[in-house]
Amino acid sequence: MRSWVATVIAAVVALAGAATPTAAGAVGRADRSEPVYDFASAIRETVWVDLGRDGDGDGRPDRVAADVVRPAEAAARGVRVPVIMNASPYFSCCGRGNEKELKTYDAAGRPVLFPQFYDNFFVPRGYAVVLVDVAGTNRSRGCVDIGGPSDIGSAKTVVDWLNGRATGYSAATGGAPVTAGWTTGAVGMIGKSYDGTIANGVAATGVEGLRTIVPIAAISSWYDYYRSDGAVGNGSPAGLARTVSARNRGQDCSAAQRRLSQVFPANGDHAPAWAERDYVAGARNVKASVFAVHGLNDLNVKPVNFGQWWSALSPTGVDRRLWLSQTGHVDPFDFRRAEWVDALHQWFDHYLLGLDSGVGRAPRVSVERQPDVWVDQTAWPAAGSRDVVLRPVTGPTAGLGTLSQGPAVAGSAVFTDDPRQDESDWAAQPTRPSSARVLYTTGALAQDLHLSGTGSVTVTATPSTATARVSAVLVDYGPATIRDYAGPGEGITTGTAQDCWGASAAGDDACYRTTSADTAAVGLHVLSRGWADLANHASLSREDRLVPGRPYTMTFRLASTDAIVPRGHQLALIIGGTDSAFIAAPAQPPRIALDLARTFATLPVAGPGPVSSSAEPLPADPALVRPRAVAGLERG
């Protein structure tokens, strides 16, 4: 009896703490939504939204499937709810989240399992969750086009439907028109990798009704996923299209995939197809707030993608927040779970429900400095960040020398491109000369050095053949414990225990396996890297055949970063040819001579610049983590 009374009292107290419906129509406290709706009885349905295009050439406009779960009690009372949307090509081919969840359906075709915790947590709090199958995947018609009008249109048109500007139907073909009168029209998009990329692309259209996006490890320019300043990386758009369309039976997208092979040049030229998939160029159109998350050691979607997107959004004045982890291509649910769910709850409550949840008082930027050790910043790049030029100066041993903030010094260095080697080979034995790279270091630092922003390297190089690649790597030499971003979990270990985040229903539970940091003790850590094709020295849109023996000057970007090189460590700049873990080799690997007077790194430094305390030697053979070649976004 006492237990029953206590339960009733607790329920009364909980209801007493709930406010009357907010302006957005959800029931909750004045500052946070509460789980007042029954998840097990939620309405689950599929609406097919007409895209107004025929991407698969079957003579009918494509329709994309939008699976919806929303609170039944809100619908019964006529209370409208906002929408959290995830548009993805992965709901049937590759799965979402650390446990690779796929959508499931009952015998009547109604959606049962909505991957990840978003529905379990947010539907009881007065939200609808809508998972959209990108055209050409799962139950949607049409064909994927890897970030182009079909992909972005798949999600944008669903936003339009939620706001009464597009037509939805009760079936994939035929069927009755369906409206979305149950929603306020306020939409927040979220997703990792390809999914977050679609969120970026939809935001860049400026579509009305999209209030916020949460892009996680997302691409901002597809050129910078598959190419890098003229250098060709791993994988291809057509190959990715085949992967995500593999389980979409009953239609033929081979013609669309052939078109993808034709419109993207095999070389590193920045063609119109890449420009069409450059969301950075459309950042001026963004009206939605942005909560971006990225791994500083993401070897799949390189960090330059978050850096250029964040910087392009700055003039727009939209509200922004940024988390930067030490992980690779990992969702924050798996590296900072409790804090992430709370931050996401706060973010969506403010931008979709209009609650004063404290978003404005939260840190603008949070950075993981050591495994599970986070610091907050007011900005990224960090306040006071400025460009510092470091110039290589040759030493007594060929190919080895120092980095100086002084004026240019005459000198030269030579290396031979060895396509069998990568950054790990170049960095592994820093005290030994190598025919495949040159290495320059600050010496032991007298104080911490804070790098925050996007740097670049300028080389003046003379190749011995008509084709040449140049790579640059920034390395922190010194003992440290880091997340093992090159390991199988890319910085996390998945356990066997579970914890639960929200309510469960038959076939759709809220429980997920716990994770912890997977760490490695190292003697060096690659902080940033960049690659270029010297043939694109004059223009990224046009490759020129090089003249052997002629010098060429080219500036190319390093990956965006935010890192502290501790006092006593050494910062090194390594320049080599083909970095085999990331880019393709040239047809004729050359011998390259560098003019050191016209070769330098421009690094974003917050606080004091690099000051050497001594000429302390580098470790002879430091422990390292070795990157794996990246196959493509099908890794999720």
- Residue by residue, DSSP assigns 135-147 as TTSTT--S---SS
Q: Phi first, then psi: give them for residue 383, nearest 5 degrees.
A: -55, 135
Cβ atoms of 160 and 207 within 8 Å: the answer is yes
pLDDT bucket at 629, cuts 50 / 70 / 90: low
| Cα separation values, 100 from 39, 166, 459, 502, Å | 22, 31, 43, 19
Q: What is the secondary structure of 22-43 as a DSSP string?
A: -TTS--B-SSSB---S-STT-E
The dihedral through the CA atoms of 202, 203, 206, 210 has a sign that is: positive
Q: What's this model's pTM, rounded to 2 decimal places?
A: 0.94
Query: Of all residues in the chain, what percent carry a pLDDT higher than 90?
Result: 88
- For residue 29, the model assigns a pLDDT of 64
Q: Encode pLDDT of 586-618 as tens digits.
A: 999 999 999 999 999 999 999 999 988 766 678
Report the alpha-carbon angle 442-369-430, nearest 5.
30
**Band (13; pLDDT cuts 50, 70, 90):** very low
| 193 part of the active site | yes
Strand order from edge to edge, sheet including 63-70: 177-178, 168-169, 43-50, 63-70, 128-133, 81-88, 183-192, 210-216, 289-295, 320-325, 365-370, 373-377
- Residue 154 annotated in active site: no
Q: Which 3 state secondary structure label does DSSP give 232?
A: strand
Extended strands (E) in 39-139: 43-50, 63-70, 81-88, 128-133
β-pair partners for 177: 169
471: which DSSP letter?
E
Amino acid letter, 507: G
The model's pLDDT over 137-153, given as tens digits with 9 standing for 90+, comes to 999 999 999 999 999 99
Whether domain 38-285+300-321 has CATH 3.40.50.2300: the reply is no
What is each CA distance from 444 to 378, 391, 397, 455, 570, in whole angstroms? 29, 17, 19, 21, 5
Q: Which of 144, 274, 152, 124 is nearest to 210 (CA)?
A: 152
pLDDT tens digits for 342-374?
Answer: 999 999 999 999 999 999 999 999 999 999 999
Contacts of 166 (CB under 8 A, 6+ apart): 49, 50, 52, 157, 158, 160
pLDDT of residue 630: 53
Residues 151, 161: Cα–Cα separation, whole Å: 16
Q: Residue 185 has what pLDDT?
A: 98
Q: Comparing C-alpha atoms, which of 544, 538, 545 is closest to residue 466? A: 545
Is residue 496 classed exposed, middle or buried when 0-12, 13-18 and 19+ CB atoms within 10 A define those classes?
Answer: exposed
Q: Which residues pair with 473 in a beta bridge?
A: 529, 574
Residues 6+ positions from 178 with CB-CB distance below 8 Å: 47, 168, 169, 170
Residues of the chain with CATH 2.60.120.260: 390-484+521-618
Query: Which of 193, 325, 452, 471 does the annotation list as catalytic?
Result: 193
For residue 633, the model assigns a pLDDT of 57
C-alpha to C-alpha distance for 215 and 204, rounded to whole angstroms: 13
Higher-confidence residue of 58 and 335: namely 335
Mean pLDDT across the chain, nearest whole number? 93
pLDDT given at position 349: 98
Distance of alpha carbon 256 from alpha carbon 235, whole angstroms: 17
Q: Which ranges in the chain are annotated with CATH 3.40.50.1820? A: 38-285+300-321
pLDDT of residue 21: 37
Amino acid at 176: A
Judged by DSSP in three states, 384 sits in: coil
The pLDDT tens digits for 192-214 are 999 999 999 999 999 999 999 99
- Which residue of the set 270, 294, 329, 537 is catalytic? 329
Is the pLDDT reported for residue 226 higher than 70?
yes
Higher pLDDT, 497 or 253: 497
Single-letter code of the amino acid located at 16: A
Q: Which residues contact 588 (CB under 8 A, 6 or more apart)?
A: 465, 466, 467
How confident is the model at residue 393, as a pLDDT?
97
Q: What is the DSSP string of 483-525?
A: E-TTSTTSSEEEEEEEEE-S--BTTB--EEEEEEE-EEEEEEE
At residue 26, the pLDDT reads 47
Check pLDDT > 80 for residue 326: yes
pLDDT recorded at residue 8: 33
Q: Helices 254-263 and 237-245 meet at what angle, rounded to 10?
A: 160
Residue 205: which of 285, 277, 284, 308 has the closest Cα?
285
Instruction: Considering the candidates 229, 298, 508, 579, report the single residue annotated as catalytic.
Output: 298
- Of the listed ranges 92-101, 243-252, 331-340, 627-636, the one predicted with least confidence: 627-636
Local structure of residue 126 (DSSP, 8 states): T
Which of 205, 208, 455 minimizes the C-alpha distance to 311? Answer: 455
Quickly list DSSP for 178-192: E--TTEEEEEEEEEE
Please measure the distance between the N-terminal and C-terminal CA atoms of the chain and give it in whole angstroms: 51
Residue-wise pLDDT tens digits, 424-447:
999 999 999 999 999 999 999 999
Q: Which residue has the higher pLDDT, 5 or 321?
A: 321
Rounded distance between C-alpha atoms, residue 546 and residue 322, angstroms = 41
> Which numeric CATH code is attached to 390-484+521-618?
2.60.120.260
- Tell me which amino acid residue 527 is: L
Does residue 21 have a cis peptide bond before it, meaning omega lies within 30 degrees of 0?
no
Question: Residue 48 pairs with which residues in a beta bridge?
Answer: 65, 169
384 in Cβ contact with 607 (< 8 Å): yes
Q: Per-residue pLDDT for 94 more than 60?
A: yes
Q: Where are the beta strands (DSSP E) in 181-256?
A: 183-192, 210-216, 227-228, 231-232
Q: Which of 130, 139, 137 is nearest to 86 (CA)?
A: 130
Q: Is residue 270 annotated as a catalytic residue, yes or no?
A: no
Q: Give buried/exposed letters for 475-492 (b at 16+ CB in 10 A, else e).
A: bbbbebebbbbbbebbbb
